[in-house]
Structure 1
Amino acid sequence: MNDQTPFALSGTSFPSADDLPQFDNDAAERARARQAQLTKPPGSLGRLEDLAVFMAGWKGTNRPAIDRAQALVFAGNHGVCAQGVNPFPQAVTGLMVDNFAAGGAAINQLATVAGATLGVVALDLDRPTGDITEGPAMTADECQDAMSRGAAAVDSEADILILGEMGIGNSTISAALAHAVFGGEASDWVGRGTGSDAEGMSLKSRVVAAAVTRHAGLDPAETLAALGGREQAAICGAVLEARRHRIPVILDGYICTAAISPLAAADPALLDHCLVAHKSAEPGHIRLCERLDKAPILDLGMALGEGTGAALALMVLRGALACHNGMATFEEAGIADG
């Protein structure tokens, strides 16, 4: 883990992508050349080939491997729940954190099968963020603290990082971040979350619209502090810290993808090392992926969160690298390639 605190939320608060490690085009080209020599028709493994090249470029080798996978779930509570936007009490967040610790959640099972070490970081659950309809969710210092805690949780020796979250009310927070960064109507970004009916979704849309109007005109870092939650800030911190160590990131569904919207607003290149795991059942997610120009790896109708979709995508990524590294070339197999 890391002790450093490289983020400061004042002025130009997020680092420039130009100052962070870049995709290794030479390693990627060598990986593409290997793909062309493997015993299969060119392009026949589809997205798996692209994923192998993606990993090669970020790991700086034409034969990338995943020996050490880390899964992180960040949990936080939100003051906007005072507006009645969620049918469940905030105590559920802490109860689910306990469930993670006991090994009883879906992410526990999927992280184990995917070969990822799971860490759960609960962020001041007894102290919800501010109600975004009445004021900022966090001060700049609080947001910086959450980002730093996210960064500190990253294993600098990991070959891949998968990110998840837990937080009652955070689908409203996600809609607010997406609406603030990408515009449109508040209703474009609002979904059922943990079980809202039509009336509940209408309320969420009104709450999101009011919050975004209240906090209009802010820069990306200020938007994260004003509208985000501690788990969203921690996700941003973890994403930036992973980039510093050339660790590719798999983001889970809507909540994780919306969390990094302020980074995209600051500089889309800050997310070049990130993949989106799956298309969430939340209706705003595919719109968000289109804005970010990131195609989800899977589409399974999931909307659980916790990093579950990211764990499944990790299995696909492992499959891509198994083929890339383990298949014989035409020469090795003694097959004429034409």
Structure 2
Amino acid sequence: MISGLPFDDVRNLARQLPALDMAGAARVREAAERFARRSGSLGSLADVGAWLAASTGRVPRVLRPVVALFAGTHYAGEGAGVAEVQAFVDRTAAGGGAVNQACAAGDIGLKIFDLALDVPVDDIAAGAALDEKGCAATIAFGMEAVAGGTDLLVLAGFGGRAGRVSAEALLAALVPQPADAIAAPARRALEAHRGHLSDPLEALRRLGGRETAALAGAIVAARMEKVPVLLDGASALAAAAVVARLADGALAHCMVADAGGDALADSASIALGLRQLQFLGLDTQDGAAGALAANLAKSATLVLEGAEEFLRRG
């Protein structure tokens, strides 16, 4: 992993992302087709299994899923939203979030990363959120999400109301969308940085928060470690938009956890060509949808494993 290196090192790492195991994915699909001829279609479960096989390079199995939730604070025109984000982190750390219950139900690990909450990033309507060194260091910190081992990583971020503006502005900079779909605060930020947003990492440091930078690092690290990723929420999609611009196929190991709860995330998912795993319409912003999706993926692997055993028995 890297630590505090400038953007060129991040770009170089992105160019070294391993290819997916498409032969493994094909084997899963072929087995699902044989099972369907004898016992009925497994539907989208076969797609989930093929994605897991391609991303990991092995038989699809989910034994150690983890939700990584990154929280950061932002300074906005009306002040810093430290109290809002700190209250969210405290509530979740105490077990009071929807994600806590979803993780407990599915035996899913939960990591909460609070990113210098008492030092908000700068107001993006007035200047850059971060300098290059600070942004690169936060990307590197996010790579630690895969430390300790996991075979399915759920990524979510929370930055309060100002964090939402940040994610919206970054997505608008990297993923074309109608001007009337962009709220006024995000438009002001885009105008402030006009002419400086063609490079995805530069756009990230200018418009993103620490939570988004860390999420981008986690996406890259997961690909390097052959860990599939479920993206949950607008901040995670904004980070994905950055990574997508760094290398072709950089998001092939990613799926979106849920659809229907966040119009911004839904439109970004479509624009980035990312498949959505479930359609529950959750908008808790704490990774709960991702935890539920991880449990669905785990169940899918068990069904596929049972189908394989059935085929072996003849």
TM-score (norm: length of structure 2)? 0.91
- Paired-residue identity, %: 31
Give yes or no for contact 1:176–1:211 (8 Å, CA) kept in 2. yes
1:46 aligned residue (43, 48, 53)? 43
Aligned to 1:300: 280
Over 3 Å counting, the alpha-carbon distance change for 1:72 and 1:321 in structure 2 is same
The answer as to 2:166 corresponding to 1:167 is: no
| Bigger mean CA offset, 212-221 vs 39-48 | 39-48
Spell out the pairing of 1:1-338 with structure 2 (5 A cutoff).
4-5=1-2, 8-11=5-8, 13-15=10-12, 17-38=14-35, 44-61=41-58, 63-80=59-76, 82-83=77-78, 89-155=81-147, 157-168=149-160, 169-189=162-182, 205-216=183-194, 217-218=196-197, 219-327=199-307, 331-332=311-312, 334=314
- Secondary structure (helix, strand or coil) at the match of 1:19 reads coil
Give yes or no for contact 2:67–2:108 (8 Å, CA) kept in 1. yes
| Bigger mean CA offset, 287-296 vs 266-275 | 266-275
Tell me how far apart the structure 1 counterparts of residues 106 and 248 of structure 2 sit (CA, whole Å).
Answer: 29
Tell me how far apart the structure 2 counterparts of residues 244 and 7 of structure 1 sit (CA, whole Å).
Answer: 18
TM-score (norm: length of structure 1)? 0.85
Tell me how far apart the structure 1 counterparts of residues 311 and 219 of structure 2 sit (CA, whole Å).
Answer: 40
Give yes or no for contact 1:277–1:310 (8 Å, CA) kept in 2. yes
Tell me how far apart the structure 2 counterparts of residues 250 and 311 of structure 1 sit (CA, whole Å).
Answer: 9
- Secondary structure (helix, strand or coil) at the match of 1:277 reads strand
The root-mean-square deviation of aligned C-alpha atoms, in Å, is 2.2
- Secondary structure (helix, strand or coil) at the match of 1:301 reads coil
Structure 2, unpaired ranges of 5+: none
Give yes or no for contact 2:7–2:136 (8 Å, CA) kept in 1. no
Over 3 Å counting, the alpha-carbon distance change for 1:43 and 1:277 in structure 2 is farther
Aligned length: 311
Find runs of 4+ consecutive structure 1 residues off by over 6 angstroms: none
Tell me how far apart the structure 1 counterparts of residues 37 and 98 of structure 2 sit (CA, whole Å).
Answer: 36
Tell me how far apart the structure 2 counterparts of residues 48 and 153 of structure 1 sit (CA, whole Å).
Answer: 26
Tell me how far apart the structure 2 counterparts of residues 115 and 230 of structure 1 sit (CA, whole Å).
Answer: 28
Over 3 Å counting, the alpha-carbon distance change for 1:314 and 1:130 in structure 2 is same
How far did 1:264 drift? 1.6
What CA deviation, in whole Å up to 9, does each residue of 1:41-86 have, x standing for no partner? 698222111010111112212x221121111110000112x247x9
Whichever residue aligns with residue 75 of structure 2, its letter is G
